[in-house]
Structures are given as structure tokens and as C-alpha cells.
């Protein structure tokens, strides 16, 4: 079983819509959770971190964490074509040791 699972997509949404990206993790001891955005050919860029159950909002981005269900999600409101990228979910288990999902590709259509 993989540590972190994501649907590879692609997820296609029209411009202005809400994009919903999901991630599940296998180990209940996981402590903190991160979303990275990766444009094609580039390195990952940290966009959100979340440590406790509930929602965390930052601009157009909202991260949601449900530790009981071992589930993390990222909502992108008012999606823009510039949001088209692969979104990586990462889970920190201990000593800053991250496990990454394989990413969900998001396409935002003008």
C-alpha cells in the first residue's frame, strides 16, 4: 500500500470554477500535511500546509484535513488557466521525512 494516494487525473475544470483535489494517506501517525504545485519541467512549490483537523484558507486556496478519515483535500476557488499544473500531496511522518503522492494534473480551461 502506498503511503500517499492521489488520483492522477487529469482533472479538467472551466475557468472560474472550484477545483477539488483529494489525497489519502495510510499511516495514522502522520503529523503534518502539505500541498505543492509543480508546473511541467519545474520543481515543486509549496502552496499550503495544514497541521490540525479542519479547514485552512489562504487566498483562493483552502486545505481541508480529516485525520479520522486519513484524508486531505485542496480546493482552488475561481480557478485560472495559470493554476494548470500537477498538485502533489505530501505527508510528514517524523523527523521531517516526507512522503509524496504521485500528483493530480489539473487543467483549467479558458
Taken in order 7, 36, 55, 83, is the CA torsion positive or negative? Answer: negative
- CB-based contact 21:74 (threshold 8 Å): yes
Residues near other proteins (CB under 8 A), total? 24
- Min CB(102)–other proteins separation in Å: 4
- CB-based contact 88:103 (threshold 8 Å): yes
Q: Which of 4, 63, 65, 76 binds other proteins (CB under 8 A)?
A: 4
Scan residues 49-108 and list those touching other proteins (CB under 8 A): 49, 88, 90, 92, 95-103
70's enclosing H/E stretch is: none
Contacts to other proteins by CB under 8 A: 4, 8, 31-32, 34, 36, 42-46, 49, 88, 90, 92, 95-103
Amino acid at each position: 500500500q502506498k503511503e500517499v494516494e492521489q488520483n492522477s487525473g487529469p482533472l479538467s475544470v472551466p475557468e472560474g470554477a472550484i477545483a477539488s483535489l483529494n489525497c489519502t494517506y495510510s499511516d495514522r501517525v502522520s503529523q503534518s500535511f502539505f500541498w505543492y504545485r509543480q508546473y511541467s519541467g519545474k520543481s515543486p512549490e509549496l502552496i499550503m500546509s495544514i497541521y490540525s483537523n479542519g479547514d485552512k484558507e489562504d487566498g483562493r486556496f483552502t486545505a481541508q484535513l480529516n485525520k479520522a478519515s486519513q484524508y486531505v483535500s485542496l480546493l482552488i476557488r475561481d480557478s485560472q488557466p495559470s493554476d494548470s499544473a500537477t498538485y502533489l500531496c505530501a505527508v510528514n511522518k517524523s523527523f521531517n521525512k516526507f512522503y509524496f503522492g504521485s500528483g493530480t494534473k489539473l487543467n483549467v480551461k479558458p
